[in-house]
Amino acid sequence: MARSLHGSVSPVLMFMALILLSVIPSSICRILNENDLKHICLKTSDPYECLDQFKSDNRSRNTDEKGLADIAIDLAMKNANETHAMYNELYSRTSDYGLQEKYMSCSKNYNDAIRDLEEVKYELNNNRTKLIHVEINDALQEVNTCIRAFERDQIDPVKMDTANERSKLLCYMVKFAAESLVQK
Ligand SMILES: *[C@@H]1O[C@H](CO)[C@@H](O)[C@H](O)[C@H]1NC(C)=O
Ligand SMILES: *[C@@H]1O[C@H](CO)[C@@H](O)[C@H](O)[C@H]1NC(C)=O
Ligand SMILES: *[C@@H]1O[C@H](CO)[C@@H](O)[C@H](O)[C@H]1NC(C)=O
């Protein structure tokens, strides 16, 4: 009797164990390793720079996926802040009306991108990860608008390409880090 009871219970236990095993990995906060970072960075246009950026923040050595998304947001915000300040500075230093106009619009683009990133941070803190892609796409659109303003005329005497490209990359890092949260 005991044997047959054992025989009927254990498949149920095994089934439950299987369910638990399939649930646990997605609900615990796993600490990420370098391969996890590479996996996210390989989705970007510049995996090496992406990895360098993540590593520039020493929190990335001991964090889970939510923490990594948070780091990406902080990096993107810091960069957008700096780029915004650079455009304001360039604006104040030129007397070329055409350039002033472009610097002004890029400054506004970055101002709005910073707002979008603040929204992203808010959504992440409130666990509304599914909404992040909307805000981060808005931020990307702002950066791209600024890039395009200069592409049309080729009159960018101060090469801002590097700062703009970095802003774009950092936004994609936020996007892909957040996507890996949503997929869970
Ligand atoms: C991380 O870097 C900051 C400075 O950037 C430093 O204050 C802090 O102690 C470092 N933390 C670790 C765990 O290395
Ligand atoms: C951005 O700059 C403002 C001041 O202009 C500062 O208060 C804020 O902390 C900065 N944010 C980041 C992420 O650097
Ligand atoms: C978000 O989720 C974490 C982990 O599940 C939890 O500790 C935290 O309280 C949540 N925050 C909000 C605002 O719901």
Q: Residue 96 is part of a domain; what is its CATH number? A: 1.20.140.40
Of 8-12, 70-74, 83-87, 94-98, the one with minimum mean pLDDT is: 8-12
Q: Are residues 143 and 67 in the same domain?
A: yes
Q: Are residues 93 and 121 in the same domain?
A: yes
The pLDDT of residue 159 is 73
Q: What is the count of structural domains for the chain? A: 2
Q: Are residues 63 and 82 in the same domain?
A: yes
For residue 142 the two structure tokens come to: 């702002």
- Closest CA to ligand 2's atom 12: 78
Q: Are residues 60 and 115 in the same domain?
A: yes
Q: Any idea which ligand is nearest the CA of 127?
A: 3
Q: Are residues 158 and 126 in the same domain?
A: yes
Share of residues in the chain with pLDDT > 70 (%): 80
pTM metric for this prediction: 0.82
Q: Measure Cα distances from 12 to 9, 16, 22, 24, 27 in Å.
A: 5, 6, 15, 18, 22
Pocket residues: Cβ below 6 A from ligand 3: 126-127
Residue 159's contacts (CB-CB under 8 Å, 6 or more residues apart) are none
Q: Any idea which ligand is nearest the CA of 81?
A: 2
Q: Let me know: does 102 contact 149? Beta carbons within 8 Å.
A: yes
Q: Are residues 24 and 52 in the same domain?
A: no
The pLDDT of residue 180 is 85
Q: Are residues 22 and 45 in the same domain?
A: no
Q: Let me know: does 139 contact 117? Beta carbons within 8 Å.
A: yes
What is the pLDDT confidence band of residue 25, given thresholds at 50, 70 and 90?
very low
Q: Let me know: does 181 contact 72? Beta carbons within 8 Å.
A: no
Mean pLDDT (the chain, rounded): 87
Helix, strand or coil for residue 42?
A: coil
Above 90 in pLDDT, residue 155? Answer: no
Pocket residues: Cβ below 6 A from ligand 2: 77-78, 81
Above 50 in pLDDT, residue 2? Answer: no
The ligand 2 atom nearest the CA atom of 77: 13
Q: Are residues 58 and 71 in the same domain?
A: yes
For residue 100 the two structure tokens come to: 């002033």
Above 60 in pLDDT, residue 22? Answer: no
Q: Let me know: does 155 contact 98? Beta carbons within 8 Å.
A: yes
Above 60 in pLDDT, residue 6? Answer: no
pLDDT in tens, 89-128: 999 999 999 889 999 999 999 999 999 999 999 999 999 9
Q: Any idea which ligand is nearest the CA of 181?
A: 3
Which alpha helices (DSSP H) does the chain contain, by range?
2-27, 34-41, 47-55, 65-93, 97-125, 132-153, 161-182
Share of residues in the chain with pLDDT > 90 (%): 70
Above 70 in pLDDT, residue 1? Answer: no
For residues 107 and 12, give the distance between their C-alpha atoms in angstroms, rounded to a whole number.
62
- Closest CA to ligand 3's atom 11: 126
Q: Domain range holding 102?
A: 31-182
What is the pLDDT confidence band of residue 17, given thresholds at 50, 70 and 90?
low
What is the pLDDT confidence band of residue 46, given thresholds at 50, 70 and 90?
very high
Expressed in angstroms and rounded, the spacing between residue 127 Cα and the centre of ligand 3 is 6
Q: Are residues 82 and 139 in the same domain?
A: yes
- Closest CA to ligand 2's atom 3: 81
